[in-house]
Amino acid sequence: MSLLRERFDSFRREKRCGFIPFIVAGDPDLETTAELLPTLRRLDPVAIELGVPFSDPTADGPVIQRASQRSLRNGTNLLKIFQMLKRVRRNKGAPIVLFSYYNPILQFGIEKFSRAAADCGVAGALVVDLPVDAAAPLHEKLRQRDVDLIFLVAPTTTDRRLKQITRLATGFIYAVSRTGVTGTTRELADESQEIVARIRTATTLPVAVGFGISTGVQARRVCRYADAAVVGSRLVQEIEGAAALRKRGNELERIVLRCARQFV
């Protein structure tokens, strides 16, 4: 059983819903990211999503787009992210899931990416723009290294495509709460609950819901029917605001921690 499945199963046995925070690697810099990972682990999330910056993040809203741009301006790339993760690997707890677009992985090399991810203790990879029909090469390389490949399922996903996804997916399924990009706020219950119910009929994998969860109330609502709630733009916005005020180190960590606690 994979590290992510073990983690989710442990939460299920304890009747706990998981919290999955998302931050962008290298925003405002990789040193801060290295400090934030153990800080977030103090909240005992089921996993942590670490975004790989990309120049054309089509699935992301303006908050995460700006974070990606800041990170890229600092020279962040996959090699530097893996080097940073090796330095912080000694911190045990919530496993890391890399959230990336496919282009950076292809440029890095599928075999090299899979090997580096495993060497750094990365538990899973979620490739937001990789269709299941084209996922076999990456899936095979990650499977050889015991790294999960996680897929998005949206309200627009057909039943046929859902079956394809659940045959290949491992770790957990990421349910997109509604169509559109990350970061906008609206009522989540109708679309996210329906998509989670559809996923449950096709697989026993855990289901995490994300895209648009910005309040503790929304996260708790999602936890009535899902295994975890993913919070990204809200945390990235806090990092952006703190960095703009030149807050660094312990002060920035306290700001992010205070925001994240409302979702636990």
47 in Cβ contact with 97 (< 8 Å): yes
Q: Is 35 helix (H, G, I), strand (E, B) or coil?
A: helix
Q: Which of 35, 44, 60, 111 is catalytic?
A: 60
Distance, first Cα to last Cα, the chain: 26
52: nearest Cα among 118, 107, 111, 119: 107
Q: Is 152 helix (H, G, I), strand (E, B) or coil?
A: strand
Cis peptide before 28 (omega within 30 of 0): yes
Q: Which of 31, 35, 49, 119 is catalytic?
A: 49
49 is catalytic: yes
Q: Crossing angle of helices 30-41/78-88, nearest 10°?
A: 40
Query: Residue 176: phi, psi to the nearest 5?
Result: -80, 120
- By annotation, the residues acting in catalysis are 49, 60
